[in-house]
Amino acid sequence: MNMISNVAADSGELKALRDKIAQRPVWQRAAIVGTPLALLAAAVTFWTSDPSPAAAPTAPMVTVAAPLERQVNQWDDYVGRFEASRSVEVRPRVSGQIVAVHFTDGAIVRQGQLLFTIDPRPFTAALAEARASVASAQAELSLAQTDLGRAKRLLAEQAVSQSNVDQIVARVRSSQAALAAAQARVRSRSLDVEFAYVRAPISGKISDRRIDPGNLVATGETLLTTINALDPIYFNFDVPESLFLKTARARQAGNASGQVAEIRLQDEAAYNWKGRLDFTDNGISQNSGTIRARAVVPNPNYFLAPGMFGNMRLADGGSVSALLVPDAAIRTDQARKIVLVVGKDNTVAAKPVETGPLVGGLRVVRSGITKADHVIVQGVQFAMPGAKVNPRVTQIKPTEAVALAAPPPSTPSASQATLATN
C-alpha cells in the first residue's frame, strides 16, 4: 500500500510539473525536457550495454626440429710452437785463422757441405812431421828385428848369452810401440788437417756467418754459425693431465687414432699441415699439471720455421655417431646445459644435456635427448617450460663450409670435431 501511495504522489507531482512547463515559452520547454531525456538515454546505454570479453592470448610461434644424426670425428685442440727436429751450433775443432767462407747466409745446406776453411798449412806441416816419425820408427823396428834374428842363431851355437837375446827382444817391442805411437800421431795430424775444413754436420737451413775471413778462432769456443734441421719439424705442446689420461686409456683399448695431428697456422683457416704424435714426456709437471708432448710434421719445402705458433687438433676417438643441434638451441640453467623440447600436446619441456664440441656450426649433444625429440631451434626466448607453443617443423642442416672458413677457438685443450667423410 505504501508503494502505491508513493507512486500516486509522484504522479501528482509530475502532473503539476507538466502544467508549469506547459505555461513556459517553447524554447524553455525544449531545454527542460531535452536535458533529462539525454541523461536518461545515457543511463540506459550505460546499464544496458554488454562489454565483450578480453581476447585470449595466442601461443607463441616456435621452430622445432629433430636432432641431426651424423658420424663425426672428435678432436682435442691445443696451441703449440714449432721447433727444429735437430739443431747444431757449428764451432771449430781446431784453432787458426778463417781464410774462406763457402755458403750463403740463410741457404739450405747438405750434410758434409764445406762451410769454412781454416788455414790448413800448420796442420799440413805437423802431419808431414808425424809421417817422418813413422818412417823413423819403422827403421828402428826393422833394425831391431834383424838383430833379434841374428842373436837367435848365435844363441843356438851358444855364441851369445840368453841375456843378450832378451835385451834385443825388449828393443824390438820398444820399436813396435814407438811405431804405433808415430802412426797415432799421423792419424791425429790428419784429423787436424780434416778439421781445418769445417763441414755441415747435418742437412738443414743455415743461419748467417758469425765470423768473417781473417779472424782467428779457438777450438770449441768460437761460434761460426747454426744449422736447423727442418724436414721433418717438431710441434711441441702441453697436454693437461685429464686429456693425457683419456688418450692413454684410448691407446690401451687399441684405439690408435689419437696419434693423428692436424695443424693450422695463425693466418690459416684450414688445417693444412698433417703430422703424427711421436713423443710424450716421462712425467707431469707439478707446477702446471701438464705433460709435454710432440708431433712430427713433414716440411719438405722448409716453409715452417722454428718458433712459429700453431693450433693443433688431435683425434680423440675416431668416427662416432652423434646428435647435433644448433648452438643457439642450448641454454644455460645455472650450472647445467638444457634444451627445450616440444611434446605431442605442444607443451614445452626442459631436458638437461651433456654437450660436446662444435661441428659445422652445430653443437654435439652427447646425452640427454634422442633423435625422436623435437628441439626448439628458433624462438627459444619465447618458450617457457610448461607453456604451450605453436610449433613449426623444420630440418637441421650442417654448415661445414662456414665452420672451416672461421678459425676455431685458440683456447688450449678446447674440444672440437668435424663431420666424418664417407
| CA torsion, ordered 272, 403, 420, 313, to nearest 10 deg | 50
Grid coordinates representing 286 are 707439478
What is the number of other CB atoms lying within 10 angstroms of the CB of residue 366?
14
Identify the residue whose cell numbers are 727444429: 84
Which residues fall within 8 angstroms of residue 420, CB to CB, at 6 or more apart? 70, 71, 72, 73, 319
- Domain range 65-83+229-419, its CATH number among 2.40.30.170, 1.10.3720.10, 2.60.120.40, 3.30.420.40: 2.40.30.170
Contact 263, 312 (CB under 8 A): yes
Provide the residue type at 194 as one letter.
Answer: E
What is the number of other CB atoms lying within 10 angstroms of the CB of residue 151?
20
In the DSSP assignment, the letter for residue 414 is -
In the DSSP assignment, the letter for residue 328 is G
What pLDDT score does 77 carry?
Answer: 82
Per residue, the 3-state secondary structure of 9-23, as one string, reads HHHHHHHHHHHHHHH
Alpha-carbon span 311 to 109, nearest angstrom: 30
What pLDDT score does 26 carry?
Answer: 47
Model confidence pLDDT, tens digit, residues 153-164: 787 777 778 888
Query: What architecture (CATH level 2) is domain 92-227?
Result: Beta Barrel (2.40)
Alpha-carbon span 256 to 275, nearest angstrom: 14
3-state class (DSSP) for residue 47: helix
- Whether residue 232 is preceded by a cis peptide bond, meaning omega within 30 degrees of 0, is yes
- 400 pLDDT above the threshold of 50: no
What's the half-sphere exposure (Cβ side, CA atoms, 13 Å) at 411? Answer: 5
Kindly report whether the global pTM for this prediction surpasses the value 0.85. no
Contact 314, 277 (CB under 8 A): yes
Model confidence pLDDT, tens digit, residues 47-104: 444 555 555 568 888 899 999 888 887 777 889 999 999 999 999 999 999 999 999 9
What's the half-sphere exposure (Cβ side, CA atoms, 13 Å) at 204? Answer: 25
What pLDDT score does 200 carry?
Answer: 96
Across the chain, what does the average pLDDT equal?
81
DSSP letter string, 239-291: EEHHHHHHHHHHHHTT--GGGEEEEEETT-SS--EEEEEEEE-SS--TTTSEE
Alpha-carbon span 377 to 342, nearest angstrom: 11
In the DSSP assignment, the letter for residue 74 is E
Alpha-carbon span 395 to 342, nearest angstrom: 15
Contact 272, 301 (CB under 8 A): no
104-119 burial, b if ≥16 CB within 10 A, otherwise e? Answer: eeeeebeeeeebbbbe
Grid coordinates representing 199 are 763441414
- Kindly report the backbone phi and psi dihedral angles of residue 32, in degrees, each rounded to the nearest multiple of 5, phi listed first: -70, -40
- 120 pLDDT above the threshold of 90: yes
Alpha-carbon span 131 to 137, nearest angstrom: 10
Model confidence pLDDT, tens digit, residues 195-249: 999 999 999 999 999 999 999 999 999 999 999 999 999 999 998 887 778 777 7
Alpha-carbon span 323 to 339, nearest angstrom: 13
In the DSSP assignment, the letter for residue 329 is G
* Averaged pLDDT for residues 167-188: 91
What pLDDT score does 407 carry?
Answer: 41
Contact 61, 379 (CB under 8 A): yes
Q: How many residues would you count in the chain?
A: 422
Domain ranges, ordered by start, for the chain: 2-44, 65-83+229-419, 92-227
What pLDDT score does 21 carry?
Answer: 56
- 395 pLDDT above the threshold of 50: yes
- Bridge partner residues of 290 (DSSP): 240
Alpha-carbon span 274 to 257, nearest angstrom: 13
